[in-house]
C-alpha cells in the first residue's frame, strides 16, 4: 500500500488532558486558549513572517488517541445523531478514519516571541487534546475557504448549548482566566453519550482540575471540582 | 524526529497533467470537474453513506510534485505578491512546506456508483494535478468551517481574472463540455510568474490538449491548441 511519512512540526498545549470535554468541532468554545509549540527544527521567526495578517489558521493534526491497530471501519456513529445511527466515515469528522487526521480552524490570538520555546502561536477555539501532534499550519483564506451557504448534512446546525450551573464556591476553585472557558466547555455537553440519566455523575479533566457534573435534560450542574492527581 | 505514516486512500483524476494551469486555490474555477478514485481497500459504498447531504468536501492531499529532498525553507515567495516578496511558509498556502500537505475545498457534484472503480466522487473546483494522492476526505461543516469575516492577510481578495480570448477555430478543437472550464483556467493567469512580456508564448496542458497563449496586460489570447503527444 502506498503511504508517506509526515513529520510532526509542533504539539498543542491545551487544557484537555483527555478527550473528554474537548469540543466536537473547532470554534465552538471561543474562550478556550491554547498554544502551539513548535519542534526545535521548526521553531523559526522567519517561518511565521506575515502570519499576523490572518485572523484564522487551519491546523492539520493527528487524532493521537484514536489510532486503531485493527484497520478501519467504513461506518461510524456520530454523537450528533445520538450515537445510534451509522454514517459513512467520509461523511463525518469522526476521529476513527482510515488516516487519523484532524482538521481545525482556530483563531490566531498572538505570536509569542518571549518564552524559551518561542516563537509559539497563541490560538483560541481549538478542539485538540494536550500534546496533540500537528503536521501543518496554513492561513485561512476567506475567498477560498468560507462557504456559509454550504449544506452541512446531519451537522447543519450548531449543537444546542446546555444551561450550565457552577455553584459559586466551586467556581472559586477555578483560576479566574479559565472560568469562561470552563463554562463554554460544559455547555457543549461533554458526556461521552447522550443518554438521559439525571442521577449519573460524569467527570472531565480541565486545566489540571477534575470537574464532576450531572446533566438533567438541557441543564448541567457541577457537583464537585478538585485538583487532578 | 517524530513522524507518522499515512496511507493514500484515493487519487485525483483531473484535466491537469502538470502543475501549470492548476488554479492557485480551490473554488476559483467552479466549472472544473474532476473525479476522486478510491484505492481498492477504501472503495466502499458504506464509507460514503450520507455524504450527499453535504454540498462541499475537504480534501487533504499531497503536493506530490513539490517534495524536496533538501529539507524546508522558512520563507517562500507567493505568486500573489509578484514572486519577489518573501513570506513565512506558515503564512502561505505554498506547496513547498515542511510537510507537502494540501488542503482544498471542493463541491460534491455526484457519487458515481456505475464505473468499474465505483464508488467514486465527482467534484468541482478542485486545484489538484492528475494523479495527486489523497489522504482524507471530510464533510465541510459550515458552522465550524465558514468564517467569511476572517482577515486574509496578503490573500484577502480573490485574484483578478484576466479577459480571455480563444479564437473560434481553436475553441472548436476543445471538447464542448471542457470549454467553459478552459476559459476559467486561463482567466486565472496560468503563467508561472507575473512578468509582463506580451510577446512571450506560454504553454499549458489541459484535458489532453496543449494550449499556447500570450498575455498582454490583463488580456490573454490563445494562439494555438493541439493534441498533447
| Judgement on whether residues B85 and B121 belong to the same structural domain of the protein | yes
pLDDT at A110: 98
- Residue of A62, A139, A153 with shortest CB distance to B91: A139
Query: CB-based contact (8 Å) between A144 and chain B?
Result: yes
Kindly tell me the sign of the dihedral angle through the C-alpha atoms of A189, A194, A196, A199.
negative
Query: CB-based contact (8 Å) between A94 and chain B?
Result: no
Q: Which of A93, A112, A145 is the last residue of a domain?
A: A145
| Judgement on whether residues B128 and B177 belong to the same structural domain of the protein | no
Given a contact cutoff of 8 angstroms between Cβ atoms, the answer to whether A202 and A221 are in contact is no
Test mutation, B152, B157, B160, chain A, max A CBs within 10 A: B152
Give residue B26's Cα distance to chain centre. 6
Query: CB-based contact (8 Å) between B1 and chain A?
Result: yes
| Judgement on whether residues B190 and B139 belong to the same structural domain of the protein | no
Strand pairing report for A163-165 and A219-227: parallel
Distance from CA of B223 to the nearest CA of A (A): 31
Instruction: Report d(CA B150, CA B145) in Å as an integer.
Output: 11
Residue A184 lies in a domain: yes
pLDDT at B65: 79
Query: CB-based contact (8 Å) between A123 and chain B?
Result: no
Whether B67 shows a pLDDT value over 80: the answer reads: no
Query: CB-based contact (8 Å) between A89 and chain B?
Result: yes
Q: What is the DSSP letter of A96?
A: -
- Residue of B47, B75, B150 with shortest CB distance to A142: B150
Identify all chain B residues contacting A88, using CB atoms and an 8 Å cutoff. Answer: 44, 46-51
pLDDT at A192: 77
Q: Kindly determine whether residue B49 and residue A88, on different chains, have CB atoms separated by under 8 Å.
A: yes
pLDDT confidence bin for A10, thresholds 50/70/90: very high
Residue pairs spanning A and B at CB distance below 8 A: 263
Question: Which whole number is the average pLDDT over A81-96?
Answer: 92
Give residue B46's Cα distance to chain centre. 28
Say which residues have a Cβ less than 8 Å from residue A131's Cβ, sequence separation at least 6. Answer: A11, A12, A13, A64
**Where residue A182 sits, what CATH number does that domain have?**
3.30.2310.20
Query: CB-based contact (8 Å) between A27 and chain B?
Result: yes
Q: pLDDT of A31-82, one tens digit each?
A: 999 999 999 999 999 999 999 999 999 999 999 877 667 789 999 998 888 7
| Region of residue A54 (phi > 0: left; psi between -120 and 50: alpha; otherwise: beta) | beta
pLDDT at A216: 95
| Judgement on whether residues A125 and A196 belong to the same structural domain of the protein | no
pLDDT confidence bin for B97, thresholds 50/70/90: very high
| Judgement on whether residues A125 and A199 belong to the same structural domain of the protein | no
Q: Kindly determine whether residue A154 and residue B4, on different chains, have CB atoms separated by under 8 Å.
A: no
- Residue of B88, B140, B144 with shortest CB distance to A27: B144
Q: Kindly determine whether residue A148 and residue B148, on different chains, have CB atoms separated by under 8 Å.
A: yes
Q: Which of A98, A117, A145 is the last residue of a domain?
A: A145
Whether B83 shows a pLDDT value over 90: the answer reads: no
Residue A155 lies in a domain: no
Residue A151 lies in a domain: no
Question: Which whole number is the average pLDDT over B21-35?
Answer: 94
Identify all chain A residues contacting B30, using CB atoms and an 8 Å cutoff. Answer: none
Q: pLDDT of B165-219, one tens digit each?
A: 999 999 999 999 999 999 999 999 998 766 789 999 999 999 999 999 999 999 9
| Judgement on whether residues B134 and B184 belong to the same structural domain of the protein | no
Q: Kindly determine whether residue B152 and residue A143, on different chains, have CB atoms separated by under 8 Å.
A: yes
| Judgement on whether residues B63 and B28 belong to the same structural domain of the protein | yes
Residue B116 lies in a domain: yes
Query: CB-based contact (8 Å) between B145 and chain A?
Result: yes
Instruction: Report d(CA A133, CA A50) in Å as an integer.
Output: 24
Question: Which whole number is the average pLDDT over B137-158?
Answer: 94
- Residue of B47, B92, B158 with shortest CB distance to A139: B92
**Complex-level ipTM:** 0.95
Q: Which residues pair with B60 in a beta bridge?
A: B103, B136
Whether B229 shows a pLDDT value over 90: the answer reads: no
CA dihedral A57, A58, A59, A63 (to 10 degrees): 140
Q: Pick B38 or A196 by higher pLDDT.
A: B38
Query: CB-based contact (8 Å) between A150 and chain B?
Result: yes
Identify all chain A residues contacting B137, using CB atoms and an 8 Å cutoff. Answer: 90
Given a contact cutoff of 8 angstroms between Cβ atoms, the answer to whether B55 and B30 are in contact is no
Q: pLDDT of A146-182, one tens digit each?
A: 999 999 998 888 889 999 999 999 999 999 999 999 9
Identify all chain B residues contacting A90, using CB atoms and an 8 Å cutoff. Answer: 47-48, 51, 137-139
* H or E element, residue A186: helix A179-187
**Where residue B140 sits, what CATH number does that domain have?**
2.40.30.70
pLDDT at A31: 95
| Judgement on whether residues A31 and A86 belong to the same structural domain of the protein | yes
Instruction: Report d(CA B127, CA B28) in Å as an integer.
Output: 8
Q: Look up cell 463525518; give the residue.
A: A92
Q: Kindly determine whether residue B86 and residue A4, on different chains, have CB atoms separated by under 8 Å.
A: no
Residue B178's domain comprises 163-227
| Judgement on whether residues B94 and B24 belong to the same structural domain of the protein | yes
Whether A193 shows a pLDDT value over 80: the answer reads: no
Q: Kindly determine whether residue B152 and residue A137, on different chains, have CB atoms separated by under 8 Å.
A: no
How many structural domains compose chain B? Answer: 2
Q: Which of A90, A111, A145 is the last residue of a domain?
A: A145
What are the Cα distances from residue A170, in Å, to A165, A167, A208, A217, B149?
A: 10, 5, 14, 22, 37
Mapped onto helix, strand or coil, the DSSP state of residue A201 is coil
| Judgement on whether residues A24 and A136 belong to the same structural domain of the protein | yes
- Residue of B99, B105, B142 with shortest CB distance to A6: B99
Residue A203 lies in a domain: yes
| Judgement on whether residues A31 and A96 belong to the same structural domain of the protein | yes
Whether A194 shows a pLDDT value over 80: the answer reads: no
Average pLDDT over all residues of chain B = 94
Total Cβ atoms within 10 A of residue B74: 17
| Judgement on whether residues B102 and B169 belong to the same structural domain of the protein | no
Query: CB-based contact (8 Å) between A41 and chain B?
Result: yes
pLDDT at B64: 85
pLDDT at B228: 80
Amino acid at each position: 500500500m502506498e503511504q508517506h511519512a509526515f513529520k510532526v512540526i509542533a504539539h498543542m498545549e491545551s487544557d484537555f488532558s483527555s478527550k473528554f470535554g474537548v469540543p466536537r468541532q473547532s470554534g465552538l468554545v471561543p474562550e478556550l486558549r491554547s498554544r502551539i509549540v513548535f519542534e526545535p527544527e521548526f521553531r523559526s521567526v522567519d517561518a511565521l513572517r506575515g502570519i499576523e495578517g490572518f485572523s484564522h489558521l487551519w491546523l492539520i493534526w493527528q487524532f493521537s488517541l484514536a489510532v486503531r491497530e485493527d484497520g478501519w471501519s467504513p461506518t461510524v456513529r456520530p454523537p450528533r445523531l445520538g450515537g445510534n445511527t451509522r454514517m459513512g466515515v467520509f461523511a463525518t469528522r469522526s476521529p476513527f478514519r482510515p488516516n487519523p487526521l484532524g482538521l481545525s480552524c482556530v483563531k490566531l490570538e498572538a505570536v509569542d516571541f518571549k518564552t524559551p520555546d518561542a516563537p509559539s502561536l497563541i490560538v483560541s477555539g481549538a478542539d485538540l487534546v494536550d500534546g496533540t501532534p500537528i503536521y501543518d499550519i496554513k492561513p485561512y483564506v476567506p475567498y477560498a475557504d468560507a462557504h456559509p451557504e454550504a449544506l452541512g448534512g446531519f451537522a447543519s446546525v450548531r449543537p444546542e448549548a446546555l444551561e450550565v450551573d457552577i455553584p459559586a464556591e466551586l467556581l472559586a476553585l477555578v483560576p479566574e482566566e479559565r472560568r469562561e472557558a470552563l463554562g463554554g466547555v460544559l455547555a457543549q455537553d461533554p458526556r461521552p453519550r447522550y443518554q438521559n440519566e439525571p442521577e449519573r455523575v460524569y467527570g472531565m479533566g480541565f486545566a489540571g482540575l477534575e470537574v464532576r457534573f450531572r446533566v438533567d435534560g438541557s441543564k448541567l450542574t457541577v457537583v464537585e471540582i478538585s485538583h487532578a492527581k
